Amino acid sequence: MENGAENKWGFEDKQEHKAAPAVTVKTSLASIIDSVNKNDPRPVVPLGYGDPTAFPCFRTAVEAEDAIVDAVRSGKFNCYATNSGIPPARRAIADYLSRDLPYKLSADDVYVTLGCKQAVEVILSVLARPGANVLLPRPGWPYYEGIAQRKQVEVRHFDLLPERNWEVDLDAVEALADKNTAAMVIINPGNPCGNVFTYHHLQEIAEMARKLRVMVVADEVYGHLTFGSIPYTPMGLFGSIVPVITLGSISKRWLVPGWRFGWLVTNDPNGIFQKSGIIDSIKDCLSIYSDIPTFIQVCES
């Protein structure tokens, strides 16, 4: 080898291939913290985010802790799990979500994931195809953009309207969609705005999505954690109008973000996902991931 090439490894980082760093709440917060003068004696009050370990006032429920301990000590759940999650966890999630729906979900409608982030990655992987695009809310949770970029799925943003309590700009959605649009994403209750969509507005979204022939991906991590007087309504309520993928997790309601327990649920009483091959694609996508910690899953049973 010449010019010192013998000193280089084939896997050395290629700087020219690096993507621009994602701008997220956590990266911005870290930048602010790093800029604080460490020699300044004044106390710093962190207002960035709630964490049950860093902020003891956010106490994890004793019932959840006891459920974990009981599951671990039982010795029944040290086995390998299926890629979709163990049956007791899937049934429990289906029963829990069915309480708000006019139809009953089955365990087969539920896929357990490593937190909601894996659920986002799974559905965007399923939707990825040459030329595909998805419609994302602005403002929204930037994780969707990052995963879409990795999966080479085009992102098109529709605005949320502050003068209308951050409702979806439905005219913009219709203008953005084309034959390659696979899905529109909604986050309800909203992140970062904290808004809650009304029943009527969610029905409008469902009817618009049916008109455009796209699925709705409903990020409902903050389900039932609402501000103001508008009650929370799950998007799955309109599954008979348009097929809905519901994403959720236990991290927010139970204050256990580190447990990494989430779900992807198909709300589709008309069987459109099955006919279109989406169900098989979800199963295939989950098969590439490592097994899920079963003792945490049991806490939902």
**69-83 tens-digit pLDDT:** 998 999 888 888 788
Q: What is the pLDDT of residue 77?
A: 84
Rounded Cα distance, 88 and 10, in Å:
46
Q: What is the pLDDT of residue 229?
A: 92
Angstrom CA distances, 128 to 138, 145, 212, stand at: 21, 13, 18
Per DSSP, what are the bridge partners of residue 215?
183
Band of residue 16 on the pLDDT scale cut at 50, 70, 90: low
Per-chain mean pLDDT for the chain: 88
Q: Which fold has domain 62-297?
A: Aspartate Aminotransferase; domain 2 (3.40.640)
Band of residue 300 on the pLDDT scale cut at 50, 70, 90: very low
Contact in structure between 225 and 252 (CB atoms under 8 Å)? yes
- What sign does the dihedral 253-255-261-262 (CA atoms) show? positive
Q: What is the pLDDT of residue 18?
A: 53
Band of residue 291 on the pLDDT scale cut at 50, 70, 90: very low
Instruction: Name the amino acid, one letter, at 217.
Output: V
Rounded Cα distance, 173 and 124, in Å:
19
Q: What is the pLDDT of residues 38-72, one digit of tens each?
A: 899 998 877 766 778 877 788 888 998 999 999 89
Buried (b) or exposed (e) across 237-251, using 16+ Cβ within 10 A?
bbbebbbbbbbbbbb
- CA angle, residues 80, 223, 166, in degrees to nearest 5: 135
| More confidently predicted of 59 and 271 | 271
What is the percent of the chain with per-residue pLDDT over 90, rounded to a whole number?
66
How large is the greatest C-alpha to C-alpha distance in the chain, in angstroms?
72
Q: What is the pLDDT of residue 299?
A: 41
Q: What is the pLDDT of residues 90-146, one digit of tens each?
A: 999 999 999 999 999 999 999 999 999 999 999 999 999 999 999 999 999 999 999
| More confidently predicted of 131 and 14 | 131
Segment 197-205 mean pLDDT? 98
CATH 3.40.640.10 segments of the chain:
62-297
Rounded Cα distance, 27 and 144, in Å:
16
The Cβ-side half-sphere exposure at 216, using a 13 Å CA radius, reads 32
Q: How many CB atoms lie within 10 A of CB 225?
A: 13
